[in-house]
Structure 1
Amino acid sequence: MVWLTALQETALRVDLSWFARIHRLNQRRWIAFSAECFSRSGDGYWYVLFGLLLMLHSADGQSFFAACAAIFLFERPLYWWLKNKFKRARPTALLVQKKLFVAQDEFSFPSGHTCAAFIFITCLSYYYPMIALCLLPWACAVGISRVVVGAHYVSDVCVGALLGITFVETFFLIHSAF
């Protein structure tokens, strides 16, 4: 098991190194401002608003809204369980300069904002593939912004994106079986 400890230590060093590089970008005012905007755009109420607008638009919009709601109802409790199981401290604890982010909770792994953004985009791709393709850079920017503002490590964001995609793909796999 010595190799496992060495692997974990190496992964932590790489994660800290990448965090430092990306977080340092916030020293430029326009990047800090952009990161804060992208980070806030990943808050949950935007998904509801966008979903409601699509729901009013067409039957596909209604199906999209119902699918997203079902996925989020399953994902949120599992996400909170994972976050409280791993109890990884946020990187803001390491920061001495002005913080761009005030946490709603104390743990960082996985990134809920990134998970939600990728749930939204992946689910959108089933109903509106062109819109999803256009919004994919936004979902990536939400994840990167979470590192820039100091809320998450890079691994938190990567796992959040993978979880979001996995939740949607699992939902549609099960949905298509019935």
Structure 2
Amino acid sequence: MKGKLAQLDTVLYFAVFTPSPKNWWRVVALAFSKSGNGGLYILLALICAVFLEPLGQKFALTAVLAFAIERPLYFFLKKRIARVRPCDCFALKALLTPADKFSLPSGHSAGAWLYAICVIEHLSVPLWPLIIWASGVSLSRVVVGVHYPLDVVVGAMMGIGCASLAIFLVGIL
């Protein structure tokens, strides 16, 4: 089963990744990918905590707690699974240089979905733009060549799970 799943993941990877995408597709993918780097998360949480109290403070607390759960889990799984990135496996140049050498789970996907769920839970923001954004961040990681599809699916599930746990824990405080 493991071999078939890896084969399917590779086939899906090559269906999405192209070493020389059209310029507009590359720009869109890189923009989505960069938006998931984390700097915007901190800035938005700080702005919300200062200007939207007490709702913004609850959002910021939930997001910080969710990341405090997600980050150690992410680093543990990344090192434990040690899945080589597709750009290193197939000698194809990715559109950007990844921060580390392993691909499973996708930290960008985990962070984007974690943050989207926290925003949806605490702030009056429409659901669909956040789902489209988190999906775009996840898909972009395959498009730019640094993750397999399964990496981003596992990352998304991890982010949703960590956000849900944090929402529950903050709710019982």
Distance 1:71 1:167 in 2: 5
- 1:131-142 alignment to 2 at 5 Å? 131-142=126-137
Higher mean Cα deviation, 123-132 or 78-87?
123-132
Aligned-partner residue type, residue 11 of structure 1: L
2:6 aligned partner: 12
Aligned-partner residue type, residue 30 of structure 2: E
Query: Percent identity over the alignment?
Result: 32
Q: Which of 42, 58, 63 is the matching residue for 1:48?
A: 42
Distance 1:136 1:110 in 2: 19
1:4 aligned partner: none
- 1:55-134 alignment to 2 at 5 Å? 55-58=49-52, 59-134=54-129
1:3 aligned partner: none
- Give the conservation status (yes or no) of the 8 Å contact 2:106–2:147: yes
- Give the conservation status (yes or no) of the 8 Å contact 2:119–2:125: no
Matched, 1:148 2:143: yes
Higher helix share: 1
Runs of at least 5 residues in structure 2 that lack an aligned partner in the other structure = none
Give SS of 1:152's match: coil
Higher mean Cα deviation, 87-96 or 33-42?
87-96
Q: What number of residue pairs does the alignment pair up?
A: 172
Distance 1:61 1:132 in 2: 17
Distance 1:104 1:176 in 2: 34
Runs of at least 5 residues in structure 1 that lack an aligned partner in the other structure = 1-6
RMSD over aligned Cα atoms: 1.6
Aligned-partner residue type, residue 98 of structure 2: A
Distance 1:132 1:48, change over 3 A: farther
Aligned-partner residue type, residue 65 of structure 2: A
2:24 aligned partner: 30
Aligned-partner residue type, residue 10 of structure 2: L
Distance 2:152 2:25 in 1: 18
- Give the conservation status (yes or no) of the 8 Å contact 1:22–1:148: yes
Normalising by structure 1, we get a TM-score of 0.90
1:33-61 deviation digits (Å, cap 9, x = unpaired)? 11111101101111001112222221211
Distance 1:14 1:154 in 2: 9
Matched, 1:176 2:171: yes
